[in-house]
Amino acid sequence: MKRILVVDDETSVAFFLSESIADLCPEYEVEMVCSGEKAMGKIVTEPFDLVVTDLCIPDIGGLEIIQHLHQVSPQANAILITAYGGDKVEAEVRRLGICGYLTKPFDMEDFARAVREALLPAEGG
């Protein structure tokens, strides 16, 4: 079973995203944390196939979490969500090879599609 970690400092948002994945993509196991520090700890101790993280988290930001994910689990994918998108953020998304990028507010069907696409097996592998 594919495992997903949802990271958002707003507990209600993390819960909503986690529950949405569970409802729209019941084939995946979902966990949530509400701080960058907890996310970093989970990434080191548990295998995740996908991390969905907010960009702006007070203790450790989403881009740093994704960089850490790629160091620990190079095969894992990430989706970055933010209400503060722009050219600079999009450039970082491309530079880090982040497979999904959504700006808030986003449609939950688009979110579910991004999650499913992020977890598709690599072609030719």
Q: For residue 39, what is the enclosing H or E element? A: helix 36-45
**Count of the separate structural domains present in the chain:** 1
Establish if 123 belongs to a structural domain: no
Both tokens assigned to 63: 């881009």
pLDDT digit string (tens) for 2-57?
999 999 999 999 999 999 999 988 999 999 999 999 999 999 999 999 999 999 99
- Tell me the whole-structure pTM to 2 decimals: 0.93
The Cα–Cα gap between 19 and 108 comes to 11
**65-84, pLDDT tens digit by residue?**
999 999 999 999 999 999 98
Within a domain: 124: no
In a domain, 98, yes or no: yes
CATH of the domain at 19: 3.40.50.2300
Q: Is residue 125, in this structure, part of any structural domain at all? A: no
Nearest alpha carbon to residue 18 among 1, 35, 4: 4
Would the CA dihedral through 80, 99, 76, 119 be positive or negative? positive
Q: What confidence tier does 85 reach under pLDDT thresholds 50, 70, 90?
A: confident
Q: Is residue 48 part of a domain?
A: yes
Segments forming the whole domain that contains residue 97? 3-118
Let me know if residue 37 belongs to a domain.
Answer: yes
